[in-house]
Structures are given as structure tokens and as C-alpha cells.
């Protein structure tokens, strides 16, 4: 198996990338650290609308619990989707060949 970014074959981590590319991705992804704000906000909004809205309308507290679980599931799903999207975006980003680590044999 080779690293999809630089074609290195050794020192592949659990993501399938070499350590150098994983470190470069980590530095690049810090530019998009604010992504978590809209993801948590969406989850919290769903939890408040379903959970608190159900209680205000006089529904069972089980609806409130379901709202919190729906909000947490929304956050986790959006977070996972966002991380996969950023990783694909990073792979599509053009990096000059001189900045890529040399392939390890």
C-alpha cells in the first residue's frame, strides 16, 4: 500500500498516509478550524428545537431525550462528513513537487 499523496510505502499510519503527509495535512487543516462551529451549532439547534420545543408544547420528556440524541447525531455526522471533505480537498490541492516529501522505498 502506498501513500496517496507522495507514494511512500513505509511508515503508513492508520489513515493510510505517511507521517510527513499526515503532518503537512494537519498544518493545512488548521486553516479550517472554524468548521467545527457550524457543525456544533447545527447539532445544538436541532437539540434545542426538538428537545425544548417538545417540552414547551407539552410532549413527553422522552421527546426531549430524543432531541438531544438527534442533535448529537447531527453533530457527529456533520463532523465526519466535514473531515472527509477536507481530506479530499487537501488531496486535490496542488502542491509544487519540491515541497512533497521524497518517496521512501
Mean pLDDT value across residues 41-56: 92
Mean pLDDT value across residues 36-59: 91
The x, y and z cell numbers of residue 9, run together, are 510505502
Q: Residue 35 in contact with residue 86, Cβ under 8 Å?
A: yes
DSSP 8-state symbol, 12: B
What is residue 14's three-state secondary structure?
A: coil
26-33 long-range CB contacts below 8 Å, 24 or more apart? 28/90, 28/93, 29/86, 29/90, 32/86
pLDDT score for 80: 94
How many Cβ atoms from other residues are within 10 Å of residue 48's Cβ? 13
49 or 20: whose pLDDT is higher? Answer: 49
Amino acid at each position: 500500500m502506498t501513500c496517496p499523496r507522495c507514494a511512500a510505502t513505509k511508515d503508513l499510519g492508520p489513515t493510510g498516509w505517511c507521517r510527513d503527509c499526515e503532518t503537512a495535512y494537519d498544518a493545512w487543516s488548521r486553516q479550517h478550524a472554524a468548521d467545527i462551529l457550524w457543525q456544533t451549532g447545527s447539532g445544538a439547534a436541532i437539540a434545542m428545537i426538538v428537545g425544548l420545543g417538545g417540552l414547551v408544547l407539552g410532549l413527553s420528556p422522552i421527546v426531549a431525550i430524543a432531541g438531544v440524541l438527534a442533535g448529537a447525531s447531527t453533530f457527529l455526522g456533520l463532523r465526519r462528513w466535514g473531515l472527509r471533505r477536507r481530506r479530499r480537498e487537501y488531496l486535490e490541492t496542488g502542491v509544487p513537487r519540491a515541497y512533497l516529501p521524497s518517496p521512501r522505498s
